[in-house]
Amino acid sequence: MENNLLSGSIPSTIGKLQNLYILNLSKNKLSGQIPPSVCDITQLGKLYLDSNNLSGNITGSLGQCKGLLELNLSRNNLDGSIPVELFASPPFSLGLDFSHNNLTGELPLELGTVGAGAGPTSLHMEVNKFHGQIPARWQLVSTVQINLSHNDLSGVVPEFFEHLHMLEQLDLSYNNLEGDVPTGWIFENSTAVLLDDNKGLCSNSSRLALPICPGLSASANKTKHHLSLLATLLLIVLPPLTIAFLVLLWFLPTLWKSVVFSFLQLAVASKKMFCFFAQQKRREMHTVPFNDEKKLKRVSYQDILKATNWFSSLHTISSTCTGSVYVGSFKFDRRLVAIKVFNLSEPSRCDSYFIECEVLRNTRHRNIMCPVTVCSTLDSQNHEFKALIFKFMVNGSLDRWLHTEQHNGIPGRVLNFGQRICIAADVASALDYVHNQLTPPLIHCDLKLENILLDDDMTARLGDFGSAKFLSPDMFIPESLDDVGGTVGYMAPEYGMGYEISVGADAYSFGVLLLELLTGKRPTNDMFVDGLTLSIFSESMFPERVAEILDPCMGHEEHQGCAEVWGQRYIVPLVALGLSCTMESPKDRPGMKDVCAKLSAIRDAFLEHRDDD
């Protein structure tokens, strides 16, 4: 409905459009207030009301739209302050735009702390009447663009901006900011930061073209004065000392001359050798192998401290009993990395580290998350410290995309059918590799959505091999699955029943994962009680009513097409494959080689059919 000549107010009955995902009424002539009933649209993911004549306050009821990923209210006549109720739940992961209105008051602290501080991908608040300071406790670790220009903001530029490693553009121009500007990260790129018309700002960095801060200027002059005095002193003292040394050499006996010259040659050679090794050491310390080289350099504990800003909560991606994962970058390579720090309070946690290192040594596959480097050392308190460094996966975990109601901060979390089938094929390929192409074979033992990460082109990578086990008589393996980790809902029924470990346990977990991808239901959903499981539920609807179990968030056009056209050709075979993987007995489940082949064939046929359409 955008870009028309619609006028009048937005009717309150709009909340009856229960299945609407995108509501776009932008670039019209709508007036009046935003009706609170908008959030009665339970499936609403994107709301565009920009470029109208809407007035009044922003309704706090928008905070009840738990699935709202993007909100654009820019270029209206909205006034008043931003209600804190707007941030009661963690929405707006794609973007938040309140620019070009008449909004007043202070910027809400809650905007930057909701949902563990991930924040929207883009934040536009420019051309309003906001006053006060920029909240120093904002935690916008996923934000790429921030525009707070043309307001009445005062105070200093908070230091947290230099710790936002996803941030690419920052506009704070035309405000009343003052004081020293931070110098790290985004402030190192003058084209990415706009600070114009803030008369009180200063910096000692020439990149930002700001006045030198008075305190820093005095310090710099003092240092310059000291250097000048030292240079003058050296010019006075060095010439007579040099002459005296040459005279002494002339009068010394020949033998002593030889000794002195030999000593000088040895000193020069030692200096060259020292410089050579120092240069080599610096080269080693400042090179992280972001490639497929087998020989990996270990970064230091201090490197990791600085990369994570001393393990700041701003950099925390996830935290469990086994350890924490941080996002950061090293000074010698500015690419983002994920740093997995192990909790070594229990001896078994150290085993997880060594298992993952062994996986690193043995594997090379495009669908497996392998560390790019490691750190095994002592921390500042002389406690054992172990960490693995991975390439940062910008699209996060598959769980964050499939179950949006429990997560915040991952852009565009709507997976269509094509993406889901490609992801399933990627995971099957990874399992086929570790089961059938590694020597000895490897069992993952904890396959679930949280352990599948998506890179920038949505290729799936299987990660977290901390619970994995090699099937080899030369390595310790548990006598039964009682000793193996796992996650409720994904664990094979033989767990805890004394069965020997086998690849069938991974096949079962994959079957659950495949059914979860198709239905959008967790295996631990509240509906699965009294013996009912995701597999039994899917089997009860198979094959005649299989369309009824599909995830309604799969994408509206494709979802309709899947149900009516692709059902027998693609959906039914996929559900059948998931059901075969979740058979009760491990012997009845297919191997991942066959699963991978079938999935690849279904994927290729679907993509070819889609391209023909």
Catalytic amino acids?
A: 446
Take residue 62 and report the two structure tokens written for it.
């928008």
* Residues 495 and 434: beta-carbon distance below 8 Å: no
Quote the CA–CA distance of 37 and 59 in Å, as a whole number: 10
3-state secondary structure of 80: strand
CA triple 598-602-603, angle to 5 deg: 115
CA triple 135-411-22, angle to 5 deg: 105
What are the backbone angles phi and psi of residue 343, rounded to the nearest 5°? Answer: -85, 110
Four-point Cα dihedral 160, 162, 167, 173, nearest 10? 90
Quote the CA–CA distance of 218 and 212 in Å, as a whole number: 10
Task: Determine how many CB atoms are found less than 10 A away from the CB of residue 502.
Answer: 18
Task: Determine how many CB atoms are found less than 10 A away from the CB of residue 17.
Answer: 15
* Residues 14 and 35: beta-carbon distance below 8 Å: yes
3-state secondary structure of 123: strand
Chain center to CA of 468: 24
* Residues in a beta bridge with 124: 97, 147
ω into 289 cis (within 30 of 0): no
* Residues 155 and 134: beta-carbon distance below 8 Å: yes
Helix 592-612 and helix 417-436, axial crossing angle in degrees, nearest 10: 150
* Residues 143 and 188: beta-carbon distance below 8 Å: no
- Pure H helices in 407-451: 417-436
